[in-house]
């Protein structure tokens, strides 16, 4: 019952609150509830967050007396963008001055450098600016040489300063060459000092590097200094840099050997150095360099070649496996690097050869034009059996700019190897020797085995099989080359790939230009005769006849005295090329006689063209000889056409 009475009293109170006071209620009525009064005096939340303009409830500005901070502050105007930018610049300048003790000096040097480095400045004005800059830096060169700005200023000063000023800078920097060689900005100054150093100064720099060659070669920055010194040094200085990389004994006692012992094998035999210790020391030097990928320098290529010549089978295989791949593309621009590339191709497994070829993708044109890199391509097409992969990457890469490649001194080697393999006219004895290069430790029989290791047939090995073999001995290719017949491989790369057809078309379109070219004449000659062993004749007889007609049409052009260009029969290169074609290709001799020279020999009987005309008498085509003899014999009798003594003896 008590609970019911409490509920009724609560209900009555709620009715009184909701109904409010009646209009005729006396003034002594109870006060209004506080709930309603609070409700009308409180503003909405949204109005506090976003007050209307001019409202009394606007948010007080920072620093006013209404803030919690208490003290009254005056209102300040906000800074403009320009003022903020200037303020930020001043703050940055202040920080740099605290951080860099020579910041003001560097700013002054940079101002002078902007004036002295322009091209159209006079020598006297530049000399004054350089002298002023060196005076400002005197006594502080070593401290500021590692700075980005000061290093550039010093490089310009060293390049254009006088000998006395150069000597002064050299003396001040001499104790700090080793430190600067490891600095990413100072290294450029050291290289510039080496470029402008005298023989005595160069010897001082190289001697200061003694004992630190291996350490610097492991650094991307420091290896540049070692390579620069190696390139500029003479044979003795180069050997001095190499000695400490061979063994600890040679690092301590650098005067033990002379230039007579140039190779590592000769040094080891003279000093009776134990081979295991030398291999162990060189491995500790080479492995960090290979792991970091610092393989661009010629001194490293020389070390690797010397190492492979003395290393055992396992060590040599491990190094070749690390080099096989995209890393090799960065090495084949030097003589030793090119030979390393050939060794990787010859002794590599199918998997490793595939890595090497795929690493050359998009670089074939550049490699083909390089003097040393082109020999690696020649080795690849002479050894690798996977002609499908070669066609996809190498042959298609060559065909992109075939016309320019034909007329390039180095680019034509790849084509000439396919047309006439290992011809002594196109390859030097040293280049031919490099193609036959091999390692004793990787050739013949494996140690501990009575049977010779069979060569890998990379035409039949699948990618899965290549990836399964992890043992260096199992993946090693002991015999240079694959199982495929060289003539079959050559035909697949030259004829079936479409290269020969494209090559003949380019020769037809540019016959005049290629005949007169010092390098292109060899390619058009080999194509016109059908290649060595007549490899092009069975499938492209019609194309070759079209090329013969194109050359004959160029020869048939009338001789013009007004034209500045020489006629092909009077040009030094083209006249000799056409003469060789007459002697070596009977089909061409017959076409040329009928289309261009029949009845016109008298006008070409003197000069370079006379040698071309007389070559018809030595042609292997008897019909051509008989036709030519009728027209040439009267010219010989009248003394207009002169023939060589050999031809006269043969005729008699």
DSSP 75: -
Q: Quote the pLDDT of residue 641.
A: 83
How many angstroms separate the CA atoms of 302 and 363, rounded? 24
Residue 378 · residue 414 · CB < 8 Å = yes
Q: Give pLDDT, residue 111.
A: 92
| Predicted pLDDT of residue 644 | 67
- 4 domain-assigned: no
Of all residues in the chain, what percent carry a pLDDT higher than 90?
55
**Residue 494 pLDDT > 60:** yes
Mean model confidence pLDDT for the chain: 82
**What number is the average pLDDT over the span 297-323?**
94
CA–CA dist 110, 136 (Å, integer): 12
Assess if residue 390 is contained within a domain.
no
pLDDT given at position 205: 93
Is a pLDDT exceeding 90 seen at residue 495? yes
Q: What is the DSSP string of 401-442?
A: GHHHHHTSTTTHHHHHHHHSTT-TTTS-HHHHHHHT---GGG
In terms of Cβ atoms closer than 10 Å to its own Cβ (0-12, 13-18, 19+), residue 644 is exposed
- pLDDT at position 648, please? 53
User: Which range marks the domain in which residue 578 is found?
Assistant: 535-557+566-638
Element (H, E) at 390: helix 387-390
Task: Say which residue the tokens 């020598």 belong to.
Answer: 123
* Separation of alpha carbons 251 and 362, rounded Å: 42
| Residue pair 320/343 in contact by the 8 Å Cβ criterion | yes
Angle at 27 between CA 24 and CA 32, to 5 degrees: 90
Higher pLDDT, residue 256 or 272: 272
The mean pLDDT of 443-466, rounded to a whole number, is 43
pLDDT surpasses 70 at 465 = no
How many Å apart are CA 297 and CA 217, to the nearest integer? 9
Q: What is the pLDDT of residues 174-218, one digit of tens each?
A: 999 999 999 999 999 999 999 999 999 999 999 999 889 999 999
208: nearest Cα among 237, 234, 231: 237
Mean pLDDT of 476-486: 63
% residues pLDDT > 70 (the chain): 79
CA 489, CA 86: separation in Å to the nearest integer?
Answer: 72
Which range has the worst mean pLDDT, 148-162, 409-423, 445-459?
A: 445-459
Q: Is residue 586 part of a domain?
A: yes
Closest CA to 368 of 328, 395, 345: 395
- Give the model confidence (pLDDT) of 4-52 as tens digits: 555 555 555 554 544 444 444 444 444 444 444 444 444 444 444 444 4
- Measured between alpha carbons, how far is 47 from 49 in angstroms, rounded to an integer? 6
pLDDT-derived band at 475 (thresholds 50, 70, 90) equals: very low
**639-652: average pLDDT:** 64
Q: How far apart are CA 323 and CA 313, in angstroms?
A: 16
Alpha carbons 344 and 356: distance in angstroms, whole number: 8
Identify whether 547 is part of a domain: yes
Distance, CA of 125 to CA of 201 (rounded, Å): 28
- Bridge partners, 452 (sequence order): 445
Average pLDDT over residues 261-285: 87
DSSP one-letter code for 492: I
Q: What is the DSSP letter of 531?
A: S
In this structure, is residue 577 part of a structural domain? yes
Q: Which two tokens stand for residue 9?
A: 């009293």
Q: For position 261, what pLDDT does the model report?
A: 66
Domain annotation covers residue 259: no
What is the reported pLDDT for 83? 82
Per-position DSSP letters for 101-161, written without gaps between them: TTHHHHHHHHHHHHHHT-TT--HHHHHHHHHHHHHHHTT-HHHHTTSHHHHHHHHHHHHHS
Q: Which of 92-106, 107-121, 440-454 has the lowest mean pLDDT?
A: 440-454
Taking the C-alpha atoms of residue 177 and residue 186, their distance in angstroms, rounded to an integer, is: 9
Q: 340 CB contacts (<8 Å, ≥6 apart)?
A: 301, 304, 305, 308, 323, 328, 331, 332
The domain total for the chain is 1
More confident residue, 652 or 354: 354
Q: Is residue 633 part of a domain?
A: yes
pLDDT given for residue 375 in this prediction: 96
Cα(398)–Cα(390) distance, rounded to whole angstroms? 11
Q: How far apart are CA 53 and CA 9, in angstroms?
A: 49
CA 462 – CA 456 distance, rounded (Å)? 11
Supply the pLDDT for residue 66.
46
């Amino acid at each position: 019952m008590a609970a019911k009475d409490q509920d009724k009293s609560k209900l009555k109170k709620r009715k009184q609150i909701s109904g409010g006071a009646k209009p005729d209620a006396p003034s002594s009525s109870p006060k209004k509830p506080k709930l309603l009064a609070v409700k009308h005096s409180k503003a909405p939340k949204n109005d506090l967050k976003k007050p209307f303009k001019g409202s009394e409830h606007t948010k007080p500005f920072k620093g006013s007396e209404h803030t919690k901070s208490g003290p009254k502050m005056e209102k300040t105007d906000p800074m403009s963008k320009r003022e903020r930018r200037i303020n930020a610049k001043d703050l940055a300048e202040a920080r740099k001055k605290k951080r860099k003790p020579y910041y003001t000096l560097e700013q002054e040097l940079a101002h002078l450098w902007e004036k002295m480095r322009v091209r159209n400045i006079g020598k006297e004005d530049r000399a004054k600016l350089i002298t002023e800059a060196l005076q400002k830096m005197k006594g502080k060169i070593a401290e500021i040489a590692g700075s980005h700005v000061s290093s550039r200023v010093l490089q310009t000063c060293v390049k254009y300063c006088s000998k006395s000023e150069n000597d002064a800078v050299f003396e001040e920097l001499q104790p700090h060459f080793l430190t600067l060689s490891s600095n990413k900005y100072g290294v450029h100054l050291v290289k510039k000092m080496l470029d402008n150093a005298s023989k005595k100064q160069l010897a001082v720099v190289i001697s200061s590097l003694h004992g630190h060659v291996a350490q610097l070669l492991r650094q991307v920055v420091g290896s540049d200094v070692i390579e620069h010194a190696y390139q500029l040094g003479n044979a003795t200085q180069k050997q001095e840099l190499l000695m400490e990389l061979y063994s600890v004994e040679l690092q301590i006692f650098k005067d033990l050997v002379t230039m007579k012992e140039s190779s590592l094998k000769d040094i080891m035999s003279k000093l009776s150095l134990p081979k295991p210790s030398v291999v162990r020391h060189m491995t500790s030097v080479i492995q960090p360099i290979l792991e970091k990928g610092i393989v661009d320098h010629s001194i490293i290529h020389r070390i690797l070649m010397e190492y492979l010549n003395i290393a055992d089978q396992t060590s040599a295989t491990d190094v070749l496996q690390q080099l096989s791949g995209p890393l090799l593309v960065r090495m084949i621009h030097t003589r030793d690097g090119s030979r390393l590339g050939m060794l990787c191709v010859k002794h590599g497994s199918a998997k490793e050869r595939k890595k090497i070829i795929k690493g050359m993708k998009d670089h074939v044109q550049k490699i083909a034009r390089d003097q040393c890199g082109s020999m690696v391509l020649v080795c690849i097409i002479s050894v690798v059996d996977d002609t499908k992969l070669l066609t996809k990457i190498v042959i298609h890469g060559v065909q992109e700019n075939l016309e320019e490649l034909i007329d390039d001194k180095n680019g034509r080697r790849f084509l000439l190897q396919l047309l006439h393999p290992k011809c002594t006219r196109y390859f030097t004895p040293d280049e031919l020797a490099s193609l036959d290069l091999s390692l004793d430790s990787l050739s013949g029989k494996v140690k501990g085995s009575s049977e010779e290791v069979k060569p890998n047939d990379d035409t039949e090995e699948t990618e899965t099989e290549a990836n399964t073999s992890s043992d260096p001995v199992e993946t090693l290719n002991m015999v240079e080359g694959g199982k495929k017949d060289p003539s079959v491989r050559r035909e697949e790369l030259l004829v079936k790939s479409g290269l020969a057809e494209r090559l003949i078309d380019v020769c037809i379109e540019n016959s005049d230009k290629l005949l007169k070219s010092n390098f292109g004449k060899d390619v058009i000659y080999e194509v016109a005769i059908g290649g060595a062993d007549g490899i092009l004749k069975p499938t492209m007889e019609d194309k070759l006849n079209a090329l013969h007609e194109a050359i004959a049409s160029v020869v048939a052009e009338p001789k013009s005295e007004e034209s500045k260009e020489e006629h092909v029969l009077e040009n030094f290169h083209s006249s000799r090329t056409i003469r060789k074609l007459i002697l070596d290709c009977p089909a061409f001799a017959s076409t040329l006689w009928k289309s261009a020279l029949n009845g016109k020999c008298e006008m070409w009987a003197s000069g370079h063209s006379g040698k071309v005309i007389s070559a018809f008498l030595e042609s292997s085509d008897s019909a051509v000889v008989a036709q030519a003899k009728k027209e040439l014999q009267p010219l010989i009798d009248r003394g207009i056409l002169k023939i060589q003594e050999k031809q006269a003896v043969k005729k008699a």
